[in-house]
Structure 1
Amino acid sequence: MKKKELVHYAAPYLLNPTNAIIVNLIGAGGTGSNMISALARLNYTLVALDHPGLHLRLWDDDVVTPANIGRQLFAPCEVGLQKSVALINRVNRFFGTDWSAIPERYTHGLRGEAKKAATANITISCVDTPQARFEIADILKEQAGHNPYSADKPYYWMDCGNARYTGQVLLSTLDPIPQPSSRKYDPVDTLPRITDEYKAQLLAQKNNHQPSCSMAEALRKQSLYVNSTLTQLAGSLLEQLFTQGYTPYRGFFFNLKTFRVQPIPLCKTFVSQGTKGITATAQAA
């Protein structure tokens, strides 16, 4: 008997929500500044398909420096501005959205409105250290089991990371997503988190992130198009999840040196990969 293909069906609320899907985008650097454009286009597409679309909150406490111009999506006139504020203002003017900037780190100890905003249907991390990933994972674990009838119930975490020419995106569930029965497919309700599946490698990495003093120095660390390539592929994964309602993949690896993309298939169970198997998890801001 032929083995059924594994697929993950999207959380039903994402496909037929009562309000816009709440997205927390964490990080407005090389990947984050490109990701917000991909998400703005996805939002425009969803609205055209009679979906409520996305409501995005961009988290970043950093400011634009001259070294950011070119590789990150900032203009010389934005030097000195908060990255999150500059990007949100630009997207809101261009697409007519009312998205929000939160010029703070997504971290433990948030207070007031920032603490309320820490919960979202989808969290997308574009951060530059393993420590930041583990902190995000801890915060999201605390949100597990959130009121299932709440409009901001957390469903997914998408983590994006890259090195100079390589990178990966991994989509995970925060709680098991109830799956429909299927004659054709074998549904998977849980997608493992990067901090569980690749914990050993993340712990083994050194936090060697240092700010670049110039664009030339930044480009010696990363290829010019590695961030934009990553975000276009990540956007495609989300688009398929929203428009098809399911996906047979939970992410991908890519290599710009060899122009190869390797999808990551679903699995019923996972084994920690130790210090092997992941392309890169550090993305310079």
Structure 2
Amino acid sequence: MNTTKPKVHFVDNGLLNPTNPITVNLIGAGGTGSKVLTALVEMNHSLLALGHAGLQVRLWDDDSISEANLGRQRFASSELGLHKSVALINRTNRWSGTRWRAEATKYGLESFAADSTNFSATLTVSCVDSVKARFEIAEILRKIGRISNYNNRPKYWLDFGNGQNTGQVLLSTVGEIAQPKSEQFIPVANLPFVTNEFAALLRRSEIIDDTPSCSVADALQKQDLYINSALAQMGMSLLWSLFRQGMTSHRGFFLNLRDFRAQPIDFG
């Protein structure tokens, strides 16, 4: 009989019983990020209904809305030329009554060096399409983790990444999260960064042609119509389970939408 105890990660108590809304940096407002923002609106409303303090989101993206973004991303023709982050946050705040913020700036080392204000958040959610951007996010989180005050120290990083029909979502901790003693489980305090554990996979799944798309048809050659939506829903379901269950036995998943297969990532 197998008596090995399962490995789980117990969520930091600051996320479960916060005094103030959980600060969230959502990086990227494109195909995945625009849909993750919608899911965060739903999550915030549901958390508030359950007596939780909710979320305070800051959306980062320095890109502007083009014709190629319409349809596949959460934008309308009336928003052409606007900054993606500003358009989405303005719409979100009008619809849901939130006071979330937009940064029409790239979340990267250059911007961080110029002004590190607003870069720190308890939860970082990245929806970027380059390996370089992920490594910069990792470096920023390490730097902030060493200097931030306790209340706004980064604790978790949820990364979304995809190719045309495949993708992955991975949850990481920024350093170690104190774990309770357990007779039933083996608590796991540290979840490695995606840039440490899956660097080779990231490079294989990266969109090689990163030139701007000139049309929706061109964009669909790089990322199929529903890969972003599928990743967003499944990834945010993982985040929701952290709030509702207070623990997780999975760090994320791999998704192949062409074959309709999903493979969870556990703790080994």
Shorter-chain-normalised TM-score: which range? over 0.9
Q: Which moved more, 1:7-16 or 1:109-118?
A: 109-118
2: distance between equivalents of 1:131 and 1:83? 21
1: distance between equivalents of 2:233 and 2:161? 13
Residue in 1 that maps onto 2:223: 222
Residue in 2 that maps onto 1:108: 109
TM-superposed deviation, 1:192:
0.9
CA contact (8 A) 1:61 1:104 kept: yes
CA contact (8 A) 1:19 1:151 kept: no
Residue in 2 that maps onto 1:169: 169
Residue in 1 that maps onto 2:118: 117
TM-superposed deviation, 1:221:
1.7
TM-score by length of 2: 0.95
Cα separation, partners in 2 of 1:206 and 1:164, compared to 1, 3 Å = closer
1:88-143 alpha-carbon deviations (Å, 9 max, x no partner): 01111111111000100011233699622000001111111101111111111112
TM-superposed deviation, 1:201:
4.4
Residue in 2 that maps onto 1:263: 264
Residue in 2 that maps onto 1:81: 82
Cα separation, partners in 2 of 1:46 and 1:256, compared to 1, 3 Å = same
Q: Which runs of 5+ in 1 are unaligned?
A: 268-285
Q: Moved runs in structure 1, 4+ residues, more than 6 A? A: none
Q: SS of 2:15's equivalent?
A: helix
CA contact (8 A) 2:112 2:119 kept: no
Residue in 1 that maps onto 2:197: 197
1: distance between equivalents of 2:151 and 2:45? 21
Residue in 2 that maps onto 1:270: none
CA contact (8 A) 2:129 2:207 kept: no
- The one-letter code sitting in structure 2 at the alignment partner of 1:75 is A
Q: SS of 1:227's equivalent?
A: helix
Q: Which runs of 5+ in 2 are unaligned?
A: none
CA contact (8 A) 1:43 1:53 kept: yes
- The one-letter code sitting in structure 1 at the alignment partner of 2:191 is L
Residue in 2 that maps onto 1:61: 62
2: distance between equivalents of 1:95 and 1:142? 33
TM-score by length of 1: 0.89
Residue in 1 that maps onto 2:245: 244
Q: SS of 2:192's equivalent?
A: coil
Cα separation, partners in 2 of 1:112 and 1:43, compared to 1, 3 Å = farther
2: distance between equivalents of 1:73 and 1:206? 21
CA contact (8 A) 2:125 2:159 kept: yes
Residue in 1 that maps onto 2:127: 126
1: distance between equivalents of 2:224 and 2:111? 34
1: distance between equivalents of 2:47 and 2:38? 14
1:31-88 alpha-carbon deviations (Å, 9 max, x no partner): 1111100111111111111000000000000100011000011001010101000000
TM-superposed deviation, 1:207:
4.8
- The one-letter code sitting in structure 2 at the alignment partner of 1:189 is A
TM-superposed deviation, 1:25:
0.4
CA contact (8 A) 1:130 1:207 kept: no
